[in-house]
Amino acid sequence: SDLQKQEERGELLQPLTFILLVLCSVLLYFKVSLMDPGFVKSEEEAGNSEEQSMVIPQIPSNIKMRRCGYCMVKQPMRAKHCQLCQHCVRRYDHHCPWIENCVGEKNHPLFIAYLSVQLVVLLWGGHVAWSGLYFEQSWDWLQHHIFLLMSFLLLVIFTIVVLLLLISHLYLISCNTTTWEFMSHHRISYLRHSELENPFDQGVILNLWRFFC
């Protein structure tokens, strides 16, 4: 059959790979959106103070853990209360409306993986849409290709958004800072009173290693 001949020529490998990437993207989306991003629990309070002093020796000793005014747990360093999730999140980055969940200590690496796979899918889909377009200056051509043209333009917009988001996150990760810390540096006590601009930065290689590994 034609399908067997296509398989023998290797013509089915590309569409199957694309479908697998799409499925991987969907699974990562649900995983990141449904998992615990690193909610602070009351039983974690006991070891937080000692842990912070060991991990971040550059932080001034007069900066103490504070109790959250909303959920009443003691916030570890770099944690923040999310009004939408109604929880304090460890190493809080931001609340993402795309996944309707916080991005924090536990799901941040998977969020980066999701963005990366999503970018590959969008670039591949954009390439396929572009290859099907041949431009003519006529109303008939526009009528027959309007759906493909709109799809291509949407793919371009989404690709730009995902690419910029991925680049910005990789930059912040390489500096060992979060979106919240980057945007609110002047309002965060442990950053405002620190002698270093970024007391968590330990060099690009070590920052990336500790984040992903």
Show which residues are catalytic.
Answer: 96
In order, the DSSP letters of 51-82 are HHHHH-TTS-TT----B-TTT-PBPPTT-EEE
Dihedrals phi, psi of 171, to nearest 5 degrees: -65, -45
Q: Report DSSP state, residue 135.
A: -
Find tokens 């970018």 and name the residue: 119
Q: Measured in Å, how far apart are the chain's first and last C-alpha atoms?
A: 47
**C-alpha span between 67 and 45 (Å, rounded):** 10
HSE on the CB side for 6, CA within 13 Å?
A: 9
